[in-house]
Amino acid sequence: MVPPVSATGTDPTPTLADVLRPGTPKLVVDDVTKVFAGRKQTTTALEHVDLHVDQGELVCLLGASGCGKSTLLSIVAGLETATEGMVTVDGDRVVGPGADRGMVFQAYSLFPWKSVARNIAFGLETAGWPKARRQERVDELLGIMGLTTFADALPKELSGGMRQRVAIARALAPEPDMLLLDEPFGALDAETKRHMQDFLLSLWHRTGTTILMVTHDIEEAIYLSQRIYVLAARPGRVAAEIAIPFGGARGPNTKRDPRFLDLRDELADLLAT
């Protein structure tokens, strides 16, 4: 059974992501509330958050600092437990972390004692891939990421952008169903960031992985995602859900599209309130 191709299929060659996109929700966040009980005060980081991400979709969570984006992503990853509500993936309730939901963290989380190749191989070793296949997969990812010549380098010998590529490669290596990205390009300069965004898009087209990405960069969110959830702060909640009308095709012209500019203003207003 092949689901109908999306109506916004401006992309002449439907990719796997396009084909898989409509219909089936991959991830459902159902009425999630998260309260942190501190010594002096309790913080409601998230209140009654409802959202979903479809199979093969790329969705961004957009919101100001402190509105609970990382908290939400951690709950989806299973690293934090929701105070109320639940998260399901393919209908299964998330009770803890697992290799099906790869995650790239806000700050660098590479293993500093492992080479680039060994970092990427970590998830494959855990999953018990045989050595030959492991090597093949690592080489493949090194090629995709443009890191082949740095296979034996230590993380401290890499630039910020390269480290983030290693982190993404490491998360992708065991072929997770879903990729959770927490401001993966937040610490990069504008040029590297743009490069990494296009890189992420091509990766998404190629693999069809479902992606939920956190950002506080409005343009990045519009440029990358199929849909955007805007989160409002104190308590963190979904303020708006915005569909992005560009289909899978993005390029330098996207950012000059009048609809892009309108969306940017609309989102800026939403974030300002």
Partner 1 sequence: MTTVDQAGSWPAGARAAAGDAVTDVATDVVGDAAPAVPGEGATPGTRGRRPSRLLGIRTEVPASWRIGFGVIGVLAILALWFWSSQGDSALIATPSESWSAFTQMVGDGTFQTDLWASAQRVLIGYGISMVIGIVLGIATGTFAAVDAFFEPMIGFLRYIPAPALIPLFLLLLGIDESPKIWLIVVGTAFYNVLMTADVARAVPREMINASYTLGAGRWRILRRVILPHSVPGIIDVARINLAAAWSMLVVAELLAAQSGLGYQLIRSQRFRAIDAMFAILIAFGVIGLLSDVLLRQVRNRVAPWSRP
Residue 171 binds partner 1, judged by CB under 8 A: yes
Residue with tokens 């199979």: 55
- Pairwise CA distance, residues 17 & 44, whole Å: 35
Residue 70 binds Mg ion, judged by CB under 5 A: yes
User: Pattern of binders to ligand ATP over 199-228, x per CB under 6 A?
Assistant: -----------------x------------
Q: How far is the CB of 175 from partner 1 (least distance, A)?
A: 11
- Report which secondary-structure segment, H or E, holds 90: none
Return all residues near 265 (Cβ < 8 A) that are at least 6 apart. none
Residue 113 binds partner 1, judged by CB under 8 A: yes
Return all residues near 36 (Cβ < 8 A) that are at least 6 apart. 42, 43, 45
Out of 19, 28, 35, 99, the only residue in the binding site for partner 1 (CB under 8 A) is 99
Q: How far is the CB of 232 from ligand ATP (least distance, A)?
A: 11
Q: By C-beta, is 56 or 68 nearer to ligand ATP?
A: 68
Nearest-10 Cα torsion for 167, 156, 189, 104: 20
Q: How far is the CB of 173 from partner 1 (least distance, A)?
A: 8
CA-closest candidate to residue 110, choices 96, 128, 122, 99:
122
CB 68 within 8 A of CB 231: yes
Q: How far is the CB of 113 from Mg ion (least distance, A)?
A: 26
Residue 36 binds partner 1, judged by CB under 8 A: no
- Maximum distance among all Cα pairs of the chain, rounded to whole angstroms: 57
- Pairwise CA distance, residues 260 & 211, whole Å: 21
Residue closest to ligand ATP, measured at CB: 70
Q: How far is the CB of 123 from partner 1 (least distance, A)?
A: 4
Residue 156 binds partner 1, judged by CB under 8 A: yes
Tokens for 53?
Answer: 């991400």
Using CB distances below 5 to 8 A depending on partner kind, what does residue 127 bind out of Mg ion, ligand ATP, partner 1, none? partner 1
- Pairwise CA distance, residues 25 & 228, whole Å: 15
Residue 38 binds ligand ATP, judged by CB under 6 A: yes
Q: By C-beta, is 104 or 270 nearer to partner 1?
A: 104
Residue 123 binds partner 1, judged by CB under 8 A: yes
Residue 129's CB is within 10 A of a number of other CB atoms, namely 18
Residue 235 binds ligand ATP, judged by CB under 6 A: no
**Cis bond upstream, residue 235 (ω within 30):** yes
Contacts to partner 1 by CB under 8 A: 74, 77-79, 96-99, 101-103, 105-113, 122-123, 126-127, 154-156, 167, 170-171, 174, 180
Contacts to Mg ion by CB under 5 A: 70
